[in-house]
Amino acid sequence: MCEFCTKHGEGKRWYEVMENYSKEMLEDPSRQKYIDHFIKNVRNNAEGNIKKLEWSKRRLPIAHRFIRKAATANMKKYHFGQVVPLEDAKNIVHMVQSITRIACVCRNVATGKSNARYCLLLGIDPSESIKHWPELEASMETLTPGEAEKLLDDFDREGLVHSIWTFKTPFIGAICNCGHDCLAYRIQVSSDLMNLMFKGEYTAHIDEAECVGCRQCERICPFSAVEYSSGSGSYYINPEKCYGCGVCRNVCKKDAISLVDKAVIR
């Protein structure tokens, strides 16, 4: 289990604990202030901070190790994520008081797209949010848990990675459905500048007996975790690279890929 499971999980995965979605936690004044200013802060600071991290990694590699560690520790306090597979994401939408679909702020900052509606707010009152996030009002849509499940299915088929995010840890306030243009992916996976999210609690596994070598899983994997073994002449999942998102399963026509709980592997 991840670090947050130990600190906030009560013996379970931390995102399975109802308290981490609670109204009481959401109503904390300091958390409300953080949420109110969240989008403005991302838009104003994200690209500048990425450039600073890129510069320190390139020009001051030794110092960057300490900068990376400090930046990661700070984000763990405020806005940190974890990859979850489709099944767990579906369970989560039944644990919260409300679900609101909104435009993705990451994609807006990275690509300028203003109506890429890939994010789900959890428990955060959209009517209150509009006061501070007026630019998102047109994209907001209240969903039932059933509607959210269907949407998550669609995102999964698109090859998007489901992830949960805190707004002042441990309160979980969003499910994001990330692609290559999302800030967390760019910062952690593409550029390896710092950590913004934990890997999932699972690892994908390919059944060699069922695999026909079509390589569709290799093409869709966002983390380049599918590799070929010349020794066995088969494909396998590199557990060090796998984030446990499970999107590879959708493209396998032979159902040769499954997710294995890391706790079982250990």
pLDDT tens-digit map of 8-58: 998 899 999 999 999 999 999 999 999 999 988 998 999 999 999 999 999
Domain positions in the chain: 3-198, 202-265
Q: With both helix axes pointing from N to C terminus, report the angle between 38-59 and 29-36 in degrees, rounded to the nearest 10.
A: 80
Strands 197-198 and 81-83: parallel
Residue 104, φ and ψ in degrees, nearest 5: -75, 120
Dihedral of alpha carbons 25, 183, 192, 217, sign: positive
pLDDT in tens, 214-255: 999 999 999 999 999 888 888 999 999 999 999 999 999 999
With a cut of 70, say whether residue 129 has pLDDT above it: no
* Closest-CA residue to 145 (of 97, 80, 102, 179): 97
CATH number corresponding to 202-265: 3.30.70.20
SS3 content of the chain, % helix, strand, coil (to 5): 50, 20, 35
